Structure 1
Amino acid sequence: MFKKGNRGNTLHGILLIALFSFAAFYIAEIPFVKSLSFSPLIVGIILGMLYANSLRNHLPETWVPGIKFCTKQILRAGIVLYGFRLTLTEVAAVGLPAVVIDTIIVASTIFFGIWMGRALKMDKDTSLMTATGSAICGAAAILGAEPVVKCEGHKTAIAVSTVVIFGTISMFLYPVMYRAGLLDGLGDMGVAIYTGSTLHEVAHVAGAGNAMDPTDALGIAGNATITKMIRVMMLAPVLVIMGLALAKRKSNEPDVASGKSKITIPWFAFGFIGIICLNTLLQSLLGVDSVKDIPLNGAIEYIDTFMLTMAMTALGTDTSIDKFKQAGAKPFLLAGFLYIWLLGGGYLLTKYLVPTLM
């Protein structure tokens, strides 16, 4: 990829994605876009998709290795750096109820998504990516799973599209449900855990939590975010289990059954865990209340968001309208079923389990 003679073309591809990512950051700060809680990652994939359906065929194919570099190496580095947003202390802050509910939600959503994908006769990779995004943390989880599943870029983009749509709906729906009194049976802590354990993106949780409890006087906004971050931490063990399971599945396929199956171990997932532990140690040594107060944390988070935006943009460039047509309505139907489960099943789990665990 960076061999002599090809280095310039690769850098051109990376530079193209970087320029799109700078544009995504700028657009994400526009008041209307910001009001929708569209992060630079989401804007980036939209820009990438616009490029895929307009200028893609007019630029040199020799730039493709640089774009691929963004979807692989930069993506994995971004997932590792994502760990700087989390600490083990956050788990203890909310306690056992959030951990238990998050664990059940993550496991059940992934298994339900795989089963429903089979029932709908969907592509296995698309259904797994969609389920993973709905189960853990939306686009970031799908990006983390992409190197493990090793699916085509357009399948990743389709999965991201589904979680963005239903996550955005939830961000507006949950505050309406709260103000209508439909969540009164959960209590303030229950509402926080329900919100954090069932909404797709971290941005969606923050948006819904702040709408329900603007000053965090009831603890809904803060505890919802912490519950969500605990859910994000589950990405690492899920990726490890996924890598082992996929290796076993591929070894049973006719075309590889006669050969040795290579187990894909997502080493970047261990880097993600390592960074979380390092961040916890730094917080303890410095005696600060939040990860935001750790020196350079803000700069690292900004760099990480930019790297993930580059990865999302690069994935978007491989997603044309024709590929969406080929995928059909099934991915969105699957995401809809998963959304109903999160909405209804998450409510019942929170209502009956949280009181017994507190």
Structure 2
Amino acid sequence: MAVRNLSVPIQSYVFTRPWFRRLLGLGLCVGIAALAVAAGSHVPLVGAPLFAIAIGVLIANALPALPADKSLRIGDLGKQCLKGGIILLGASLDLGEIARTGLGSLPLLAVTMTSGLVCSLWLGKALGIDWRMRCLIGVGTTICGASAIAALAPVVRARAEAIAYSVTVVFFFNMVAVFTFPALGHLLGLSDSGFGVWAGTAVNDTSAVVAAGFAFSQAAGATAIIVKLTRTTLIIPLVLGFGLALPFLSREGRGASQPLLKRVRAAVPTFIILFMLAAAANTLGLVGAHAGEVQLAGRLVMVVALAAVGLQGNWRSFVGAGSRPLLLGLVTWFVVAGSSLAVQAWTQAL
């Protein structure tokens, strides 16, 4: 009898433990990923990455209390799995291929980033949007979504409200890109390389680039990730540039001490270094015949990450962003995507 009475407190103790809650979050994401892989095998034109996000979004909106439970750590899980999947993918690539694709995309990235930032700052001013939010939406759209926003926000002293709105706007267009880019790529008759470069330069967040790229094709996904990681490293000069320009952007920045170098160091993504080391191991022949298996493992881990991304897609949160920031994000995104296609068409790279 005593044992039976103790069973409920013991179960309650286990169920509330942080490690158990994290396992529940992982189990939910793995379950969604398994469904996505099964669905993707029957509808390969859509693919597991898009199914993972779609199923996650449906659950997030049908049962909003589930993904909103912070103890499940779904957001952290998604970030860790995405980085791990990219590192595993690196172990199936060659350093020479990465260098050619990454360096070859720099001129295009210079055009898309410049046009996007100019559009965001100019149009945002015309719409009466605060300069901080204009900067955050601009870098979030042109570089790498929430990561760029997080790196720049302390430099420009952005308020929590501006950060939340900017992340919401960028995340909204991430979801739109995931489901529209592959279809548009096929409609435009883009090659694997052309679509990979387009997705890598024009889709905001790394997770959305992964989903859109691999939904188009395996080769397009690999190219898109290389271009996206090259684009991500450009956070560093951009954070430096905004830090130096702060006195000219706002009177509050004049004479103020800003830990700029600390922010630059924090903006360096460690997983990119590990991605390069994994590629170096493959280039040196250390991965050998297992490259295909490693690549498959990386793709499966990324599907789990995309399930976590979908679980964070509660559409109710977009209502609070307001129409003007959404319009600014939309036009900036169009400018970045359009300039990428225009340059590739001009250079006959599509």
**8 Å contact kept, 1:40–1:309:** yes
Q: Which residue of 1 aligns with 2:226?
A: 230
Indicate how the Cα distance of structure 1 residues 145 and 103 shifts in structure 2: closer, same or farther if over 3 A, else same. Answer: same
- Provide the identity percentage: 14
CA RMSD of aligned residues (A): 4.6
Indicate how the Cα distance of structure 1 residues 352 and 155 shifts in structure 2: closer, same or farther if over 3 A, else same. Answer: closer
* Deviation, structure 1 residue 278: 0.7
Higher helix share: 2
Q: Which residue of 1 aligns with 2:151?
A: 148
Q: Which residue of 2 aligns with 1:213?
A: none
User: Separation in 1 of the partners of 2:282 and 2:84?
Assistant: 18
User: Separation in 2 of the partners of 1:310 and 1:196?
Assistant: 21
TM-score w.r.t. structure 2 length? 0.66
* Deviation, structure 1 residue 72: 5.2
Structure 1, unaligned runs of 5 or more: 211-220
Structure 1 residue matching 2:258: 3-state secondary structure: coil
Asked if 1:176 corresponds to 2:187, the answer is yes
Structure 2, unaligned runs of 5 or more: 1-12, 154-159, 204-208
Aligned residue identity for 2:285: L
Aligned residue identity for 1:144: S
* Deviation, structure 1 residue 293: 1.0
Aligned residue identity for 2:226: I
Structure 1 segment 50-199 matched on structure 2, within 5 A? 50-52=62-64, 64=70, 66=71, 70-71=74-75, 75=79, 78-79=82-83, 82-86=86-90, 87=93, 88-94=95-101, 97-122=104-129, 131-132=138-139, 134-136=141-143, 141-145=144-148, 147-149=150-152, 155-178=166-189, 191=194, 195-196=198-199
User: Separation in 2 of the partners of 1:289 and 1:77?
Assistant: 24
Q: Which residue of 2 aligns with 1:329?
A: 323
Equivalent residue in structure 2 for 1:40, among 42, 46, 52: 52
Q: Which residue of 2 aligns with 1:261?
A: 258
Q: Once structures 1 and 2 are overlaid, which stretch shifts more, 277-286 or 338-347? A: 338-347
Aligned residue identity for 2:327: L
Indicate how the Cα distance of structure 1 residues 249 and 71 shifts in structure 2: closer, same or farther if over 3 A, else same. Answer: farther
TM-score w.r.t. structure 1 length? 0.65
Indicate how the Cα distance of structure 1 residues 347 and 235 shifts in structure 2: closer, same or farther if over 3 A, else same. Answer: closer
Q: Which residue of 2 aligns with 1:18?
A: 26
**8 Å contact kept, 1:83–1:276:** yes
Indicate how the Cα distance of structure 1 residues 12 and 246 shifts in structure 2: closer, same or farther if over 3 A, else same. Answer: farther
User: Separation in 2 of the partners of 1:72 and 1:123?
Assistant: 30
Structure 1 segment 276-355 matched on structure 2, within 5 A? 276-286=275-285, 293=291, 296-303=294-301, 305-307=303-305, 309-310=307-308, 313=311, 315-316=312-313, 319=314, 321=316, 323-353=317-347
Structure 2 residue matching 1:286: 3-state secondary structure: coil
Number of matched residues?
A: 314
* Deviation, structure 1 residue 71: 3.5
